[in-house]
Amino acid sequence: MSNCKIFRNNDGSINRVFDELGNESQLYYDTLFHVSTLVDKLPITPPIKSYLETGKIKDTSIPEVALGLWAYSYSDNFRNKYDIKVSKLEEVSVDDIIRHIEEYYPKPVVQETIKVEQPVIKEGVEELFNTNPELANQVYESLGFVTPLKALESNFEKVKERLNDFNNVFAENLGNSGLPFDYFNEVELNIDDLDLSVKNKEMFDVLYQKNKASDYLKSELTSIDKQKNPILINNKGQVVEGWHRINSLKANGVKTVKAYIPITPQQKQQALQLYSQYLDTIFPDSKVEEIDNNLYISVLNDLKSQKIIDKQCS
């Protein structure tokens, strides 16, 4: 699983997991869901214990154990042991991982997957987010996320001007680069784990010629604290902009780099749920469309002041 990528938040928690094909791993999320339904104890099987001892997983929390099980499923040992005849580039199913768990624990411990009810999003909240980008921006920013414009302007010059110019292929090249025009999360990543495979592709020429934002001198980037602008990473975990910063930090012996990565669908859903839940505490029986628009900002300010939604999605 050498080509798999695991991105973590600043606090070390798991943010996103990608498989060897560069796609966000559904198998990891299926494994995470299954592990979360086990009621007696987490499946610290011998391979997972080995991962814990070697530092490949950080602790015995549900996300880390799920990560260990997911990682073990990529090994030749796992595939040979359970006679799984698939290519290494293909993911096994969560049923195969369950077989591994059941080998070490009595079946009563492995509970049937139960339906976990998701918090109900108040009627009209999602439509409100879609039709009121100013409000959506404020909610996401209060959660610590970064707007796409801020992420782009941290890395390229004249972003608004170029996006509004129909003759400029900047927007098309952004799309080709895999950068979604969506919210980003600022994280700290290990430089040696970065995917630099798209650096020399032709489609990025317009992004990098003449219209780049000012970069750093090598002598300036002696620590990550001096890195003002995070690098840009696309939805496949590939670096799209920031090689000079990466090389400068690396030359000065710095092991990590600040990066903007796109937020996950799960984080977007959590943002809707958190805002919806708080609206429900104030307007328990009202639909969003019945609430005076002038109240939304005061609700948001209240959320911020009480830190109810601060960083809860990270």
Q: How would residue 38 be classed by pLDDT, with cut points 50, 70 and 90?
A: confident
User: pLDDT tens digits for 169-178?
Assistant: 787 777 777 7
Together in a domain, 79 and 180:
no
Considering the domain architecture, whether residues 215 and 156 belong to the same structural domain is answered as: yes
Is 74:88 a contact under the CB 8 Å cutoff? yes
Residue 32 lies in a domain: yes
Residue at which a domain ends, from 220, 238, 262:
262
Give how many domains the chain has, as a whole number.
Answer: 2
| Residue 138, domain member (yes or no) | no
Helix axes 26-36, 62-72, angle to 10 degrees: 130
Two tokens at 126?
Answer: 């999602």
Same domain? For 94 and 161 the reply is: no
In this predicted structure, what is the pLDDT of residue 64? 92
Q: Tokens for 151, please give them.
A: 């992420």
**Do 154 and 87 reside in the same domain of the chain?**
no
Q: 3-state class of 117 per DSSP? A: coil
Per-residue pLDDT at 182: 80
Does the structure show a pLDDT above 90 at 230?
A: yes
The answer to whether the CB of 71 falls within 8 A of the CB of 140 is no
Q: What is the DSSP annotation of 190-253?
A: EGGG-B-TTTT-GGGHHHHSS-BPP---TTT-SSGGG--S-EEE-TTSBEEE-HHHHHHHHHTT
Mention every residue, 6+ apart, whose C-beta is less than 8 A from residue 27. Answer: 19, 70, 73, 91, 92, 93, 94, 97
pLDDT band of residue 257 (cuts 50, 70, 90) is very high
Q: What percent of the chain stands above pLDDT 70? A: 75
Determine the average pLDDT of the residues in 202-228. 62
Instruction: Examine residue 311 and state whether it is found in any structural domain, yes or no.
Output: no
- Most confidently predicted of 61-65, 115-119, 305-309: 61-65
Query: 260 is written with which tokens?
Result: 């903007």
Beta bridge pairs of residue 262: 184
Are 272 and 243 a contacting pair, CB within 8 Å?
A: no
Instruction: Tell me: pLDDT of 25 over 80.
Output: yes
End residue of a domain, out of 262, 278, 298: 262
Q: Is residue 34 domain-shared with residue 105, that is, in the same domain?
A: yes
pLDDT at 301: 61
Q: Which positions ≥6 away from 198 have C-beta within 8 Å? A: 177, 178, 204, 234, 238, 239, 240
Query: What tokens appear for 118 in the block?
Result: 């998701």
Contact 241, 232 (CB under 8 A): yes
Do the Cβ atoms of 72 and 100 come closer than 8 Å?
yes
Mean pLDDT of the 218-246 span: 86
- Structural contact between residues 269 and 253, judged by C-beta atoms closer than 8 angstroms: no
Looking at per-residue pLDDT, the higher value among 156 and 303 belongs to 156
Q: Among 9-18, 39-48, 104-113, which stretch is predicted with the lowest mean pLDDT?
A: 104-113
Tokens of 163: 């996006």
User: How far from 262 is each of 27, 149, 187, 303, CA to CA, in Å?
Assistant: 20, 12, 10, 24
- Judge if 67 and 19 occupy the same domain: yes
Same structural domain, 77 and 14: yes
Q: What separation in angstroms does the CA of 255 have from each of 18, 194, 279?
A: 21, 11, 43
Provide the pLDDT confidence category of residue 87 given band limits of 50, 70 and 90: low
Asked, for residue 119, whether it belongs to a domain, the answer is no
Q: Are residues 151 and 244 in the same domain?
A: yes
SS3 68: helix
d(CA 205, CA 210): 10
Q: Are residues 158 and 222 in the same domain?
A: yes
Q: Is residue 175 part of a domain?
A: yes
Last residue of a domain, one of 61, 85, 109: 109
Q: What is the pLDDT of residue 169?
A: 79
pLDDT of residue 306: 53
Q: Are residues 154 and 244 in the same domain?
A: yes
Q: What one-character DSSP code corresponds to residue 204?
A: G
Give how far the C-alpha of residue 292 lies from the chain's centroid of Cα atoms, to the nearest Å.
Answer: 34
One domain, residues 152 and 248: yes
Residue 291 lies in a domain: no
The residue segments making up the domain with residue 80 are 5-109
Average pLDDT, the chain: 77
Look at 213 and 313; give whichever has higher pLDDT: 213
- 91 lies in the same domain as 158: no
pLDDT at 142 over 50: yes
Residue 212 pLDDT grade (very low, low, confident, very high; cuts 50, 70, 90): very low
Task: Classify residue 21: in a domain, yes or no.
Answer: yes
Classify residue 289: in a domain, yes or no. no
**pTM, full prediction:** 0.56
